[in-house]
Structure formats: structure tokens, C-alpha cells
Amino acid sequence: MIDSCVSPSQPDVMRHRPDARLRHAIEFIWTFAPARSEPTLLERTTPDGGVDIIVTRRENQFAGAVVRGPASRGVLIKIDAEIEYIGVRLRPAMTRAVLGIDAIELSDSRIGLRDIDIGMTNAFAECREASIRAALYQVQAALLRNNSIGKSSAVADIAVPFMLKAGGQCTVRQAAEELGWSERTLHRRMRTELGFPPKIFMRVIRLQRALHALTTLRSSAASAASTAGYADQAHMCREFLDLTSTTPKEWSMQANSLRGRNAKERISDASQYR
């Protein structure tokens, strides 16, 4: 059974908890159906370290499937109001276990699923249910039939949780010691399995903490900088410009103009995949 939940700040995106048999590899499944009355939307994405398998539907028919790799920079994209999206968010460092390919090969790129796993693509192509909810169940059923999903690694089980718990405010040495590895080994393993070296991943974690403070908690820029672990507000502004091509003030104005903007930002890359 899939449990669905939508927070008040995420009116446009439905997140669904996957079947218990998939939760070691899949963080959540999401669906997004833009209002057809709206014109084409522009959304700015943010790097969050995630890898998504994205299935698109047009007029209740399969339109395509792609894999969005971990992004190190945000981009401005368009959302087609006639396309429905079903996304499968993989847990960090679980890309090889699910797709048989390392995350580093997908970094800052979008690759057709057919080029990676034609069997999974064909299974998704059978999703022809009229409602997006029913199609969601078909997508999950296709994943459950994929008996090749492997086990997690030390990066997924120890390194990533350690850095997330630290809020991105730990050193590479501390993370390496947690695993009993050298810093060099940690750098190599994270870059391969996660798509980011440790320092970049910790920057992404701090950025997401700042975004949450600004858009969900409605914190001031100074408070958000402190919450996210930046040295000061100027430091946060520099990171925003580098990672999102916008400033915290501009981001806050966008968020206040449309509730749920932060939810869209994390998944709206889907609009390019059709």
C-alpha cells in the first residue's frame, strides 16, 4: 500500500511512501500534474543530491522515461501543463543498486531510461491507467517486479546519514573516521556512488537547510544563515549565487508569491523529460 501525504506548503506535489519492500532503495515516489488552465510555467531548480527516475504521461498515455542525475547547480526550466509526471526518488548512493550504473555517470545530466534499463522502460510503458494515481501503482508494481535491486553500501548506510545528521557541518576527516576510511577513499567512494565528493554534498545539505528555513519556516536571511551553519549572511548569499544563480532575497520573494514553491523546486526538472 502507498501512503500519501501533502504538507500545507506543498499543494502541487504529492509525495507517496513506497511499498516496504522498496524503501531500502527508494526514498519516495512523487506525482505532479500541472493545472491545465495555467500557461507554461517557469521554475528554478535547486541542487539536492537526488537521482530521479521520471515517467511522463500525455493524455493518459506513456510519453517517455528519463533518469535525472544529481545536479550541482540550479537551472531555470519550463513546465508543460499538458504533461503529468511520476517520479521515483532514489535514496542517496543507491543508484547502482537500482539502475546498475554509478551516480557519477549521471551527474548534471539527463539520460533516457531506455539507454540504461530497457526492461524497466518497457514495464513503465505499460502504464496506461486513466488516473495518475492508478498509473502510480503500476509504476510501483513495475519496480517490484525488478528483482535486480541490490543492497545498500557503506556510503548509503553510514556516510550519507552521518553528514545529514550533522547538517553538512562536519569535516571530511570526521566523516572518514566514522567509516574507518581514509579521506581519499571517502572522496572516491562518494563521488562514484553519490555523484558528489563530500565537500560538495555538504554544501548542498546546507543550501537545502537554508531553503527550508527561508520558505517553510519563513525565517529572516540572517536566521536562515545561522540555522544552515553558514559563517554569516554574506557567506550564505555567495553560496546561493553559486548554487542557484539567485539571492536569498529573490528566493524568498518567489516563495512568498506562491505557496509550495520549495516543493516544486526540488522536482520540477521533470518538466524537461518528455
Helices (H), 194-220: 198-215
Q: What is the pLDDT of residue 37?
A: 59
Q: What is the mean pLDDT of each run of 10 residues along the chain (274 residues)?
A: 37 81 92 70 78 90 91 78 88 93 93 92 83 86 82 93 94 93 96 95 94 88 94 95 89 62 37 28
Q: Which of 199, 204, 194, 197 has its CA nearest to residue 96? A: 194
Q: What is the pLDDT of residue 36?
A: 63
Q: What is the pLDDT of residue 133?
A: 82
Indicate where the chain has its CATH 1.10.10.60 domain(s).
Answer: 154-261
Contact criterion met (CB below 8 Å) for 62 and 27:
no
Q: What is the pLDDT of residue 7?
A: 31
Element (H, E) at 127: none
Q: Which three cell numbers stand for residue 79?
A: 513546465
Q: What is the pLDDT of residue 42?
A: 65
| Amino acid identity at 262 | N
Q: What residue has cell string 504529492?
A: 14
Q: What is the pLDDT of residue 27?
A: 92
What does the mean pLDDT of the chain come to? 83
pLDDT in tens, 116-131: 998 889 988 887 777 8
Q: What residue has cell string 500534474?
A: 33
Q: What is the pLDDT of residue 39?
A: 58
CATH homologous superfamily of 154-261 equals: Homeodomain-like (1.10.10.60)
Q: What is the pLDDT of residue 81?
A: 76
Q: What is the pLDDT of residue 9?
A: 33
Q: What is the CA radius of gyration of the chain?
A: 18
Q: Which of 175, 243, 233, 234 has its CA nearest to residue 207? A: 243
| Amino acid identity at 16 | H
Burial pattern 219-252, b for ≥16 Cβ within 10 A else e, equals bebeebbbbbbbeebeebbebbeebbebebeebb
- The crossing angle, in degrees rounded to 10, of helices 248-257 and 233-244 is 70
